[in-house]
Structure 1
Amino acid sequence: MTRSVLRYVPHRIVQHPDTDVTFEAECLHCQWKAQPSPEGEAVDVECMSHTARSNHRGFRRVCVSFAMVVRAE
């Protein structure tokens, strides 16, 4: 019979240090998409400009980030 020793190591999830958060948006009524940006306000302004031109008021907004699991210290 083989015996094993189990060790539990706590982990946590963190944002990947070499990446930024990216904000994106797309219109729910047509094929329009905002230019992805690290600044959410810039994407919001693009959405409002699209609404002014088209009267489309619904958008799908996405915040993309990359994460890593690391050992908790």
Structure 2
Amino acid sequence: MSRTILRYVKHRITQHPDTDVTFEAECLAYPCEWTANASPDGAAVDVECMSHTGRTGHTSFRRVCTSFALVVRTE
């Protein structure tokens, strides 16, 4: 009969050090196809959305924040 040895290793997840977080937005008003320029500055994307609202009256946006993760052992 064989025996199995289980070893539990703790890990943590963190933002990948060689990447930036990227913010994006797109207008949800149909048939508007406006999108904000992708940027590492979330506030700049928000300003673009508010400017678009001022020009068009469109008030709904999908905002996306993309980051890349790295999982490493804590030991």
Short-chain TM bin: over 0.9
2:57 aligned to 55, 58, 61, which one? Answer: 55
TM norm structure 2: 0.91
Is residue 2:53 matched to residue 1:46?
no
3-state SS of paired residue (1:70): strand
User: Which residue number in structure 2 is paired with residue 72 of structure 1?
Assistant: 74
TM-align CA RMSD: 0.9
Aligned partners of 2:59, 2:5: CA distance in 1, in Å? 59
1:4 is displaced (CA, Å) by 2.0
- Unaligned 5+ runs, structure 1: none
| Runs of 4+ displaced beyond 2 Å | none
* 3-state DSSP of counterpart to 2:14: strand
Aligned length: 73
Percent identity of paired positions between Structure 1 and Structure 2:
73
Structure 2 residue aligned with 1:16: 16
SS at match of 2:65: strand
Deviation of 1:6 after TM superposition, in Å, equals: 1.2
The alignment partner of 1:18 has SS state of coil
**TM-score in terms of structure 1 length:** 0.93
Q: Which residue of 1 aligns with 2:5?
A: 5
Q: CA deviation at 1:2?
A: 1.5
